[in-house]
Amino acid sequence: MGDPQPTPPHPPTASPRALTRRSFLRASAVFGGGLAALAAALAPLRHLDDFPTLDQFLQKYYRELTPAEMERILRRIEAEVEREYGVRPQVRDVKPLTGVEYVYAHNLTRCIGCRRCVHACVAENNLSRTPEVQYIRVLRLPHGSLDMEKADHNYAPEWVPEPDHFYMPVQCQQCRNPPCVKVCPVHATWQETDGLTVIDYDWCIGCRYCAAACPYWARHFNFTRPSIPKGQLNPDMAYLGNRPRRQGVMEKCHFCIQRTRVGRYPACLEVCPTGARKFGNILDPESEVSYILKHKRVFIQLKEELGTSPRFYYYFDV
Amino acid sequence: MNRAIRNYLVFLGRCSRIAFAGDWRYYAWMGVLTVFCLLGLNAYAKQFVHGLLVTGMTDEVSWGVYIANFTFLVGVAAAAVMMVIPVYIYNNEELHDLVIFGELLAVAAILMCLAFVTVDLGRPDRFWHLIPGIGQFNFPASMLSWDVIVLNGYLLLNIHICGYLLYCRYQGRKPAKWFYIPFVFIAIVWAVSIHTVTAFLYVGLGGRPFWNSAIVGPRFLASAFTAGPALIILALQVIRRVTAYRITDKALLTLRSIVQVSMLINVFLLINEVFKEFYSGNLHVASSKYLYVGLHGYHALVPWIWTAIAFNVIAMVLLLLPLSRSLRWLNLTCVLCIVGIWIEKGMGLVIPGFIPTPLGEMIEYTPTLNETLICFGIWAFGLLCYTIFLRMSVPILLGTLSQANEGRD
């Protein structure tokens, strides 16, 4: 700490703050050196090429945007994507349909664990290829057990299915009581009227609290700038769906909002070779999912005991 | 009014000038801290450009050593209250002036906490989304929004109490009781709240059985009230050695008894938790198994947690023996407490919560060099702040920096 006596006696005639040449030089040297060290420390910022523009920085929260503002933002995003990927996309803000609540049902008896759904999802939803982000994780479980600790995530046999195993793909379960929505400090993720939990990628601050809260490991973080090879971009985009994400934000499965809200099936369902995946409107008593939930004897909501009440059901063909 | 503002500005000016004055030891210490700050800033600049990819964190272990340090330091900040209670509730004279040193430590610790949370953000440029009124503040649903309020509130309370008391001392007048005593009592409750809310951050997650336990809150408080006063004991001895400020052994020993009781409770709660986890033997024990004995051949944290437990138990025994009344042994004990608790509730609490993942996958976590440099940088920044606070407040408490001697420097 040094000398506790901060006021050494001065001769009364001398001005205390008189600048001598020497003290001036010394102060300048210290100041200059400090400035140089600070500049050197901040040097990596020269490589910053993702700095937000003023428009991006000041962009308002999704649910507070007027239609006109939304329109302007969509056009801006289209221009940004075109500049980066050389393709003019169509970015829409697709709203939930009234009288619709989406439910997914997955037939564990039929699933062969081929992971086609995983890769169809990557392509459809413009997921980063390096590092690769995937919304669907397929677990290989030993016959007779739902204990996830026995799951093999990296199975790679020559042929699937393998004897004595079954396969369980896990993606966002679109919970009725989503823990991720509860914990988000800035309302960047919420549940829409059709049951989809979505993320405003331009509002998320990247604290990853939702990732800690999710019991299904469904939320994925962009640890660096996502990269998609030119030519592999899916130009049919939705604001809350598959438009390219930026570094430092969360993303997750949204049941292909850009497809399902205009009456198409999710990409993972379309690609499934065994018809294990069923998707539809639970509020429509005639829908396939309504039939399944009414007539199958057993179905499972993953980790039901947590009270999250998933809209993703697993069932068996018995 | 103008005159009051002018006086205050002169006070601030003199305080900041004195922060740059000292003997060679002071410059050497500040120089070393500045170097570490700059190294940390450099590492953070890299992270700012390339993203959190430069850390050891992954989708599987999505919080790491930043949040671990944050959790520990919230405890240190909360512990300032353990000096305030004896002074203001039990009128302990020995600790009276020392409260300011404890509260200044709390201010420095909260600044470090805020820095650790900021470097953990994926999009720090969007921090304003968190500001109530301007952004979208998910209060009261999100525990993180509670944390923003209680941490910043605690920071303001402590700045007010310390700042007011020091300014009064500088002016040589008696502080008006109504202007600080109510805040002191609010701060006592508030200190408990900052650590409870931080515990609830973890406890509220039903999908993470390792954290989803009612004992986390009490354990947080017990460990905070051990490590915090232990840190203050060490800090006070440094102050005593390098300044003319007198601190009695009796004051240090009062703090020792606080550490003693807290450590006993801390170890007791640890035993409770370990028993419940292992004896019942249900599937939720996976994370605890990973932490204490390793799981499926993964055991990166095992040596750490046993070091922590050994340190805590040795410290507890030393605290119970009269041996730790001698300052040399007391210092050793304090170091053991601080290191033990830093491991136990930093890495030992945050990391196992993520291992195995909710889908049963085993992915371990090791901080990278860049991440570690950022942590050192923030610790150096905190120490730099605390040193400057002390550099300003010690002369004021000694009376060598006062309104009476204005204009003579």
> Mind listing the pLDDT tens digit for each residue in B30-78?
999 999 999 999 999 999 999 999 999 999 999 999 999 999 999 999 9
The answer to whether residue B22 neighbours chain A at the CB level (below 8 Å) is: yes
Cβ-based neighbours of B86, under 8 Å, separated by 6 or more: B92, B95, B254, B258
Residue A192 CB-density burial (10 A; 0-12 exposed, 13-18 middle, 19+ buried): middle
Residues of A in Cβ contact (< 8 Å) with B63: 208, 212
Quote the pLDDT of residue A19.
60
- Is the pLDDT at A7 greater than 70? The verdict is no
Confidence band (pLDDT; 50, 70, 90) for A9?
very low
Q: Which residues of B243-262 are buried (b: 16+ CB within 10 A; e: fewer)?
A: bebebeeebbebbbebbbeb
Element (H or E) spanning A122, and its range? Answer: helix A116-124
- The alpha carbon dihedral of B48, B50, B56, B62 has a sign of positive
The domain spans of chain B are 2-405
The answer to whether residue A272 neighbours chain B at the CB level (below 8 Å) is: no
From the CA of B290, how many Å to the nearest CA of chain A? 12
Quote the pLDDT of residue B409.
59
Question: Which of A45, A185, A223 lies closest to B52 in CB terms?
Answer: A223
Top pLDDT among B82 and A57 is at A57
Top pLDDT among B14 and A9 is at B14
Q: Tell me the CA distances in angstroms from A66 to A59, A60, A78, A93, B182, one per residue in order.
A: 12, 10, 18, 12, 46
The interface residues of chain B toward chain A in range 143-182, judged by CB-CB distance below 8 A, are 143-145, 148
- Is the pLDDT at A88 greater than 50? The verdict is yes
- Is the pLDDT at B83 greater than 90? The verdict is no
Query: What is the mean predicted confidence (pLDDT) over A220-238?
Result: 95
- Is the pLDDT at A5 greater than 70? The verdict is no
Calpha distance B252→B274 (Å, rounded): 33
* Residue from B263, B238, B272 nearest B252 by CA: B238
Calpha distance A231→A250 (Å, rounded): 24
Residues of B in Cβ contact (< 8 Å) with A249: 122-123
Confidence band (pLDDT; 50, 70, 90) for A18?
low
Give percent of chain A above pLDDT 90: 82
- Is the pLDDT at B177 greater than 70? The verdict is yes
Using only C-alpha atoms, chain B has a radius of gyration, in whole angstroms, of: 22
The domain spans of chain A are 52-91, 102-315
The answer to whether residue B114 neighbours chain A at the CB level (below 8 Å) is: no
- Interface contacts (A, B; CB < 8 Å): 221
A102-315: CATH number: 3.30.70.20
Could you report the per-residue pLDDT of B242-277, keeping only the tens digit for each?
A: 999 989 898 899 899 999 999 999 999 999 999 999
Confidence band (pLDDT; 50, 70, 90) for A301?
very high
Fold of B2-405: Formate dehydrogenase/DMSO reductase fold (1.20.1630)
Top pLDDT among A317 and A266 is at A266
- Is the pLDDT at B168 greater than 70? The verdict is yes
Q: Max CA-CA distance within chain B?
A: 72
Could you report the per-residue pLDDT of A135-175, keeping only the tens digit for each?
A: 999 999 999 888 899 999 999 999 999 999 999 999 999 99
Could you report the per-residue pLDDT of A91-126, keeping only the tens digit for each?
A: 999 999 999 999 999 999 999 999 999 999 999 999
Residues of B in Cβ contact (< 8 Å) with A153: 359-361
The answer to whether residue A38 neighbours chain B at the CB level (below 8 Å) is: yes
Please indicate whether, in this complex, the C-beta atoms of A183 and B143 are within 8 angstroms of each other. Answer: yes
Query: What is the mean predicted confidence (pLDDT) over B224-229?
Result: 94
Question: Which of B207, B286, B390 lies closest to A215 in CB terms?
Answer: B207
Suggest the residue from A7, A219, A224 to mutate for an interface test with chain B (most B CBs closer than 10 A). Answer: A7
Please count the other Cβ atoms lying within 10 Å of the Cβ belonging to residue B404. 10
Query: What is the mean predicted confidence (pLDDT) over A165-192?
Result: 97
ipTM (interface pTM): 0.93
Query: What is the mean predicted confidence (pLDDT) over A272-283?
Result: 97
Residues of B in Cβ contact (< 8 Å) with A208: 62-63, 120, 122
Query: What is the mean predicted confidence (pLDDT) over B319-339?
Result: 95
The interface residues of chain A toward chain B in range 176-215, judged by CB-CB distance below 8 A, are 179, 182-188, 203-209, 211-215
Average confidence score pLDDT of chain B: 93
Suggest the residue from B243, B355, B359, B390 to mutate for an interface test with chain A (most A CBs closer than 10 A). Answer: B359
Q: Max CA-CA distance within chain A?
A: 103
Average confidence score pLDDT of chain A: 92
Quote the pLDDT of residue A13.
45
Calpha distance B23→B16 (Å, rounded): 16
